[in-house]
Structure 1
């Protein structure tokens, strides 16, 4: 993950309006996130679709990992060997 660069990653909305195409091309090329400001305060976050999708996939993975860890802590897990044996038994019984 790249560090945040205050000189390029924070831009006023007026600059975004003036350089929209250039900024969007830069987002695609450099895969960075830009904070748009309005009246000197953070107003919006802008990033490429590819970067957004990458972050969503990472979030889904981490959410699943945390859920699995919570299940493990709660004892809500099944022994893998027992699970696959019971699955095999079900398949065998269906023959």
Structure 2
């Protein structure tokens, strides 16, 4: 991961974003010596968003299972029939 000062980002945003697009390496932006933000390329950001949605769905499913909220295959097919046509 690269690190850049917020003042460098202000002065060289075009170069930093160009490097980010080319190298696909996140950039940590620091302000007063402390992390303030991360810059990531669009493809990586969108892929991470998809991963998070999938993981959230899995977590909901695991919670439902642990709470005993489960259906048989036949019950699930009946409930989902409107989407499985």
TM-score (norm 1): 0.72
Could you list the structure 1 runs, at least 4 aligned residues long, displaced by more than 3 angstroms after superposition.
none
Structural RMSD (CA) = 2.1
Aligned length: 81
- Please identify the structure whose Cα radius of gyration is greater: 1
1:62 Cα deviation after fit:
0.3
Q: Is residue 2:41 matched to residue 1:51?
A: no
Runs of at least 5 residues in structure 1 that lack an aligned partner in the other structure? none
Gaps of 5+ in 2: none
TM-score of the superposed pair, with normalisation by structure 2: 0.79
